[in-house]
């Protein structure tokens, strides 16, 4: 897989509309979860660097990912973590804030979904060329914030993360969300040794249906 530039990443996220976020404590848990998500039809996913061996997990996932899938690294905070992620095979990065990883990725034309929270941060990320803006934690502001932001910034590419569920996913899209990122409410216990992957597959299909608006 080849890493994506911001223009290409923007187009892919606009097409997929749903990014699955895998936050695991083990490589095996991350890999098995990714396999289930791909088989359920999800084509955009992020492996967070909170996993100590994230590079190993990303390499394995990339090795069997469908040709139309995109695989990114999340919770990327530093310049060195950007390089680490790309060396592992990640095609794009996702950050939790507007830190050095964002400016470095933009400089290197590596696709980035930049973490932002305030109107100023959102404007800065978009003005500098980020593919999209990760609104985190979205649960603390809700769909109405997305709607309010899209009024002065009608072309804002907001990706709410943190608190998006099957119950409110439609509200975020109705408010103008560009896409959504979903971790726990989608992945559930699948990353654990006894995780229920059949339930994960069912949730994945429901989230996909909810994102196709």
Task: For residue 136, give the CATH number of its domain.
Answer: 3.20.20.70
Burial class (CB in 10 A: 0-12, 13-18, 19+), 56: middle
Residue indicated by tokens 């804002």: 156
Asked if the structure places residue 195 within a domain, the reply is: yes
Pair of tokens at residue 165: 């569920």
Asked if the structure places residue 53 within a domain, the reply is: yes
* pLDDT for 160: 98
Residue indicated by tokens 């964002």: 102
pTM equals: 0.96
Provide the annotated active-site residues: 46, 134
Pair of tokens at residue 199: 């339930």
| 86 three-state secondary structure | helix
Range list of β-strands (E), 61-204: 70-74, 92-94, 112-116, 132-135, 158-160, 180-182
Number of domains in the chain: 1
Asked if the structure places residue 66 within a domain, the reply is: yes
Asked if the structure places residue 1 within a domain, the reply is: no
Query: DSSP H helical segments within 48-162, as ranges?
Result: 54-64, 79-88, 100-107, 119-127, 142-150
* pLDDT for 123: 94
Rounded CA-CA distance 19/179 in Å is: 8
Rounded CA-CA distance 53/55 in Å is: 6
| 1 three-state secondary structure | coil
* pLDDT for 170: 97
Rounded CA-CA distance 23/5 in Å is: 24
- Separation of CA 173 from chain center: 16
- Its domain, for residue 175, covers 6-211
pLDDT tens track of the chain, all 213 residues?
Answer: 688 999 999 999 999 999 999 999 999 999 999 999 999 999 999 999 999 999 999 999 999 999 999 999 999 999 999 999 999 999 999 999 999 999 999 999 999 999 999 999 999 999 999 999 999 999 999 999 999 999 999 999 999 999 999 999 999 999 999 999 999 999 999 999 999 999 999 999 999 999 986
Burial class (CB in 10 A: 0-12, 13-18, 19+), 99: middle
* pLDDT for 213: 66
- Separation of CA 123 from chain center: 19
The C-alpha R_g of the chain, in whole angstroms, comes to 16
Asked if the structure places residue 80 within a domain, the reply is: yes
* pLDDT for 175: 97
The dihedral of CA 101, 102, 104, 105: what is its sign? positive
């Amino acid at each position: 897989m080849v890493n994506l530039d911001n223009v290409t990443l923007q187009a892919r996220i606009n097409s997929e509309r749903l990014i699955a976020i895998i936050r695991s404590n083990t490589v095996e848990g991350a890999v098995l979860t990714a396999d289930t998500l791909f088989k359920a039809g999800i084509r955009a996913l992020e492996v967070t660097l909170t996993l100590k061996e994230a590079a190993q997990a990303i390499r394995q996932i990339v090795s069997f990912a469908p040709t139309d899938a995109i695989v990114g690294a999340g919770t990327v905070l530093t310049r060195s973590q950007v390089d680490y992620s790309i060396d592992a095979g990640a095609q794009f990065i996702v950050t939790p804030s507007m830190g050095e990883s964002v400016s470095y990725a933009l400089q290197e034309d590596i696709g980035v979904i930049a973490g932002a929270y305030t109107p100023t941060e959102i404007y800065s990320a978009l003005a500098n060329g980020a593919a999209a803006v990760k609104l985190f934690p979205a649960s603390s502001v809700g769909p109405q914030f997305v709607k309010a932001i899209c009024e002065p910034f009608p072309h804002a590419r907001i990706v709410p993360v943190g608190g998006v569920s099957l119950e409110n996913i439609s509200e975020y899209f109705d408010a103008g969300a560009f896409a959504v990122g979903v971790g726990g409410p989608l992945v559930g216990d699948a990353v654990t040794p006894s995780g229920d992957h059949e339930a994960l597959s069912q949730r994945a299909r429901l989230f996909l249906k909810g994102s196709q608006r």
